[in-house]
């Protein structure tokens, strides 16, 4: 059945997933706050350009994809815990999604980093009615910082899931052999 090594793999998997999900939740909150502020200033600005749209897309899409992955992976991992038959495809799907999300978060962080100076200089003009403050710049920096941390977390989750899959597959093979001698 399930030995000590299997228990460690499942525990490591769930602890890793939980840590990454907490980090991703902070990133999603920061990203949505950045999106709301950039959108607010974008609506007031007459000279906003494609760079502003890139920041809007990177901040909003990053939050949406992270939340969608967290919900999807939770459902699939809980389903995996309940059913011995759910080993193959869905676990691989979550694992592949984790590595893709790591790259996506990295891309969002790079886009936000690339336009940091433009956001600060374009939206900090005095006397124009823009309301971009130093606190907004700090939130912007925290957003792309957490994008990079989230990317690293999802890469780590990919590695944990990949390594845990061997142990969990063996456990389910033993369960099937016991059920069907």
In angstroms, what CA-CA distances link 13 with 59, 163, 181? 28, 9, 30
- Retrieve residue 83's tokens: 């059913």
* Mean pLDDT calculated for residue range 129-138: 76
* Mean pLDDT calculated for residue range 14-30: 94
Residue 34 has pLDDT above 60, yes or no: yes
Q: Spell out the domain ranges in the chain.
A: 4-179
Q: Lowest mean pLDDT of 24-38, 96-110, 125-139, 164-178, name the range.
A: 164-178
Residue 2 has pLDDT above 70, yes or no: no
The answer, as to whether pTM is greater than 0.75, is yes
Mean pLDDT across the chain: 80
- The pLDDT value recorded for residue 85 is 55
Please measure the distance between the N-terminal and C-terminal CA atoms of the chain and give it in whole angstroms.
14
Residue 141 has pLDDT above 80, yes or no: yes
Contact by Cβ (8 Å): 69, 126: no
- The pLDDT value recorded for residue 87 is 54
- Retrieve residue 171's tokens: 């456990």
Residue 113 has pLDDT above 60, yes or no: yes
- The pLDDT value recorded for residue 124 is 65
Secondary structure of the chain as H, E, C letters: CCCHHHHHHHHHHHHHHHHHHHHHHHHHHHHHHHHHHHHHHHHHCCCCCHHHHHHHHHHHHHHHHHHHHHHHHHHHHHHHHHCCCCCHHHHHHHHHHHHHHHHHHHHHHHHHHHCHHHHHHHHCCCCCCCCCCHHHHHHHHHHHHHHHHHHHHHHHHHHHHHHHHHHHHHHHHHHHHHHCC
Q: Lowest mean pLDDT of 2-6, 52-56, 118-122, 135-139, name the range.
A: 2-6
Choose between 65 and 44: higher pLDDT.
Answer: 65
Instruction: Give the residue from 130, 172, 156 showing the smallest Cα distance to 19.
Output: 156
Considering 26-35, 88-97, 134-143, 153-162, the range whose residues carry the highest mean pLDDT is 26-35
pLDDT band at 126 (very low <50, low <70, confident <90, very high): very low
- CA atoms lying within 13 Å on the CB side of residue 154: 27
């Amino acid at each position: 059945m399930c030995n000590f090594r299997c228990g460690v793999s499942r525990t490591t998997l769930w602890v890793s997933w939980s840590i990454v999900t907490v980090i991703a939740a902070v990133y999603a909150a920061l990203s949505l706050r950045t999106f709301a502020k950039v959108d607010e200033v974008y609506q007031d600005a007459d000279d906003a350009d494609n760079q502003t749209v890139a920041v809007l897309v990177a901040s909003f899409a990053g939050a949406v994809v992270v939340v969608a992955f967290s919900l999807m992976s939770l459902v699939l991992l809980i389903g995996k815990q309940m059913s011995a038959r759910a080993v193959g495809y869905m676990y691989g799907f979550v694992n592949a999604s984790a590595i893709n999300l790591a790259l996506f978060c990295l891309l969002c962080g790079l886009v936000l980093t690339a336009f940091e100076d433009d956001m600060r200089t374009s939206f900090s003009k005095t006397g124009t009615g823009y309301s971009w403050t130093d606190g907004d710049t700090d939130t912007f920096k925290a957003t792309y910082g957490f994008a990079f941390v989230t990317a690293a977390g999802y890469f780590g989750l990919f590695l944990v899931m990949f390594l845990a899959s061997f142990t969990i597959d063996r456990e389910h093979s033993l369960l099937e052999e016991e059920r069907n001698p």
